[in-house]
Chains A and B, each alone.
Chain A
């Protein structure tokens, strides 16, 4: 997926442990997003960022925090992982400065909380 790298691609973690997922872009775009995707649901927005140190909550932000100290990196942290956070997490960037996501997603991180 052009310009976006997510790491790790797969992770298994124990309930109660903190987990950090990383999204790295090479194209210097302003807007970045974290989504989760679960069977039977559409993608749901967790948090988004509109610049360095500028972030805001999406519709399913409880239990998650984010940080963006550099334009190219957007981190998603599960403060204390729970089984309900088992999901596939996607990072996306907007190629528009207006913030309308223009469709570039990463390959996803499959997270399993046991």
Chain B
């Protein structure tokens, strides 16, 4: 079946450091890929998405490229801020009718000043 594997957290960085959160997936067919972010006490917010191979999703300085050859969708940001501290979920949606999202376990990011 479909699955998503994310790197274990927490990831601890200083402000303005470079961020990478690894995400790999296993899926049949051609899924869509998503990154969601969850701030403390809130629901999930869609951060970015990609629907086919080589698509690059980007938003708020974050970006991720759909790599079919490595089955990966790593999240990157060039310079993190304290306000980026949150839990990040990589998710996969099968493009068959309903987006039954399969989530990774989540990666907590802690950014210190």
A pairs with B = no
